[in-house]
Chains A and B, each alone.
Chain A
Amino acid sequence: MLNDITVGQYLPGKSAVHRIDPRVKILLVVFYIVAIFVTDVFWMYGVFAAYVLGAALIAKVPLRVLLRSIKPLLFIVVFTFIMNLLLVREGELLLQVWKIRIYSDGIIYAVRLALRLILLVFGTSMLTLTTSPLSLTDALERLLKPLSIIRFPAHELAMMMTIALRFIPTLLEEADKIMKAQKARGADFETGNIFQKAKALVPLLVPLFVNAFRRADELAMAMESRCYHGGKGRTRMRILTLSWVDAAAVAVNLGLLALLIIFG
């Protein structure tokens, strides 16, 4: 049943990590990403790994969920690792097998980049695992609001994301239904080469788009009749207020910043 799908990978909870203001959380993740790419001291990666794992522990995010988040990017991590290993021709020559030469710097670069990528995925995953998509959207809108001076459509983007999140489950359910209906008419979505398969999708995609446009039309009408007229003069029910959790999170990060400045 498609009823149970959730968008993103949010794990609801009430931990301190969950309760960090989403705006603060986004900024901290940005700081974290910059930091792991700035530092090239190896034990600092250990510090950052401990930081992320500590956060996961507090948020009660199971380690296996966190590890799983690397899976889609594993190929890129391995690929960049091998490329660095093979292509860097600096430092000491450690090993030569036929035409393949491995240098000491190659190992260092390869390991460093792999660590950075893994830490990057861990950090961003912690953000999406502990923050609901709606809070993220909301926080992004508020963070980007100052940019509206240069006509950056922060509110419009956030509204689009909200609506997308709302309708993805509905559309998936509908896709499932249309697919079944066409199967009942003998459609075959499984066999054939890639071109035949792509062509077989037409009876699914056309109704899906037609229905999506109809939905969009009706939704626009419903929003207008609920007095929606863009972001101007709009208030929000949810007030985001900073608390001691945010102060603590910022303090931890100031500590990391200090380490970063002292040791590079």
Chain B
Amino acid sequence: MAEIVLSVEDVSYSYASMDEEDVKALKNVSFDVERGSFVAIIGHNGSGKSTLAKLLNGLFLPKEGRVLVLGMDTQDEDLTWQIRQNAGLVFQNPDNQLVTTIVEEDVAFGLENLGILPADIRVRVDEALEAVGMEAFAMAAPHMLSGGQKQRIAIAGILAMQPQILIFDESTAMLDPMGRREVLSAVRKLQQTKDLTVLWITHFMDEAAQADRVIVMDGGRIVMDDTPQQIFRRADELEQIALDVPMSVKIAREMQKNGVELDCVPIGMQALAEAVCRLK
């Protein structure tokens, strides 16, 4: 078994609410993440997935249980910066996470905070921009870029800090389909070439389908945790907790209702078309 880089142990979290009692956002959540894996976390709005993202790099601290990043407890204040450097977080709104008026200065921001030497910052910034294919925009102003490009800059800013874990908190939710593809493929490439561990939080099922492992959240709890194939076998359950399933899975399910059984759970139209042809 591969090394565990992130472990969430029986974590609960609640928000103070103005009305009456606290709102429980997470209830006894536990899971481990192996090095190099691509884990999708899905759930509808309010299922607790964004709260979870902020617990993973110590922006929020668990009320119960603990979060270990490379063995470091997020409760330990002395380790805060080390944890955040190792577990980078990319947010949803591309506009609200870029700090400066020039792309390369922004990518340098995290490194400057860590007190890295100027010459090293230069090298790492250039490498990070290249890794996300944005080197041509080094001197551009962020507000002139498309949503997908801004998110790639945000990723470069995290990447430059040389983290081992990348956490994406619905980072494609505000992008158009082209931007979504652009960001997701950049992340997949990074995960495969740089031995990074990726946690991909989303409510887009087709994105979750590309992961090695899918964690499904509902009402602050983990309700499923398995491979995409196994998860999509439970399409009815997913729909009950207000989640979608890929169209290919829906069609297969409807065919099954009509008495035609395919030999697999087809994820994607290519898989469905092939399964249909095998049937013929």
Contacts and interface: CB of A to CB of B under 8 A. Distances in A.
Q: Do chains A and B touch in the complex (CB under 8 A)?
A: yes
Interface of A: 3, 6-7, 133-134, 162-163, 165-166, 169-170, 173, 214-215, 218-219, 221-229, 233-239
Which of A162, A214, A225, A239 has the largest count of B CB atoms less than 10 A from its CB? A225
B115 A233 contact: yes
B81 A225 contact: no
Interface in B86-139: 88-89, 91, 93, 95-102, 104-105, 108-118, 121-122, 125
Determine the interface band of chain B, counting residues with CB < 8 A from chain A.
35 or more
Given A218-B93, A237-B125, A169 B143 contact: yes
B112 A225 contact: no
A221 B161 CA distance: 17
Nearest to B93: A218
Contacts of A234: 112-113, 115
Contacts of A162: 99-101
Given A134-B105, A218-B96, A225 B115 contact: no
Closest 6 CB pairs of A and B: A222-B97, A218-B96, A237-B108, A226-B110, A237-B121, A169-B143
A237 B99 contact: no
Nearest to A217: B96
Which of B85, B102, B157 has the largest count of A CB atoms less than 10 A from its CB? B102
B109 A228 contact: yes
Interface in B48-105: 54, 57, 59, 81, 84-85, 88-89, 91, 93, 95-102, 104-105
24 contacts: A6-B141, A134-B100, A134-B102, A134-B105, A162-B100, A163-B99, A165-B100, A170-B95, A214-B96, A215-B95, A218-B96, A225-B57, A225-B88, A226-B110, A226-B113, A227-B114, A228-B109, A229-B113, A235-B115, A235-B121, A236-B108, A236-B112, A237-B118, A237-B121
